[in-house]
Amino acid sequence: MAVRSFTGLWTDGNYERNESELLEFVGERNLEVVGNPVFARYDGPMTPFFMRRNEVMVQIADFDAGLNEGSVADAQRR
């Protein structure tokens, strides 16, 4: 599974931007996506927007193939 976390309000624009960046990251590493991206929203409506946590996730085929320390470090910097 490849995951991109982001903060802020849940909007279509925020989701689409982060989904695109995740898929670009996965594609640059020649990893194969299995299925459709999935989103997760963790905080309730009373949580201030700057404290809200969201994620976009995609299942990766053959996860260990092609993933290395550099890939993980790159993902954490984005």
Task: Determine how many CB atoms are found less than 10 A away from the CB of residue 66.
Answer: 13
Strand segments, DSSP code E, in 16-72 are 33-41, 53-60
How far is 4 from 19, CA to CA, in rounded Å? 8
Q: Are 76 and 62 in contact (CB under 8 A)?
A: no
Per-residue pLDDT of the chain (78 residues; tens, 9 = 90+): 999 999 998 889 999 999 999 999 999 999 999 999 999 999 988 999 899 999 999 999 976 555 555 554 455 444
What pLDDT does residue 56 have? 96
